[in-house]
A = this chain, B = another copy of it.
């Protein structure tokens, strides 16, 4: 007896790192009878076919989404409003719309208005990634052991939430349900601020005069290198995240700047005890990480 797949037809919009990794999972676990992939870049569509990820490729979101049980929007979040408008004619009662965007209030704002009654809207965010991008960067194990946060609006059909959860569990993810504003606060500090800072430090280094810059490259192993790795991620994706999680990000960024100013002041005035106290506090967080097996 062959079990029926989780979905008849899955549609993935945007075949970057996350979209292609999810497509690998769908293929590996035979989660759909048909996987339709939509990307506006013809090169990406060609690669999706060449990699055997898609049963069909489409430039038009509505064409790709027609007849799908579930639509996964996996483009940079700046494109979501436009994609929502393009999808609208294809959305029929009973369909599920989900996404992989890194800020969740903006997804409700940008996709929400295009979701008609009877269509189940289950925004999602797989907490996974590498510093590489594009359809060839994807691999099925990307989500293994990683969290996927779902932020369904109150009253969302529970069976639909469960189907989205089942999709990510196939990829090896653990599921967490969260309120979108809370998601945006948590991610602002765990992900968006570290990236903002990493981009900034790399930018500061790239403004140094030639000789000094060459030596920064040469001796980068002493801490700087870790920042450049974080800063290697996709520029458009990060531009969109910064713009769309603006309030939560600017809030944690100014908290951090206050803390940095305090530390700078302590350094300027030679306040050794204060500096040591601040450093020791930070080890507490590290200890908790180790306890939570996230280190």
A residues touching B (Cβ–Cβ < 8 Å)? 78, 127-129, 146-147, 149, 176, 182, 185-187, 189-208, 212-213, 215-232, 235-236, 238-239, 242-243, 246, 249-250, 252-257, 259-260, 263-264, 267-268, 270, 272, 275-276, 278-286, 288-289, 292, 294-295
A189 to B201, CA, bound (A): 8
A256: chain B residues at CB < 8 Å are: 200-201, 204
* CB pair A222 B191 closer than 8 Å: yes
Known: A186-B212, A189-B208, A238-B279. 9 other contacts (CB 8 A): A146-B221, A186-B219, A194-B227, A198-B282, A221-B294, A226-B226, A232-B286, A242-B263, A243-B270
A191: chain B residues at CB < 8 Å are: 219, 222-224
* CB pair A224 B264 closer than 8 Å: no
| Number of copies of chain A assembled together | 2
* CB pair B243 A206 closer than 8 Å: no
* CB pair A235 B194 closer than 8 Å: no
* CB pair A206 B284 closer than 8 Å: yes
User: 11 A-B contacts, Cβ less than 8 Å apart?
Assistant: A147-B221, A186-B216, A190-B216, A190-B219, A194-B201, A198-B223, A199-B278, A199-B279, A200-B263, A204-B259, A236-B276
A252 to B206, CA, bound (A): 12
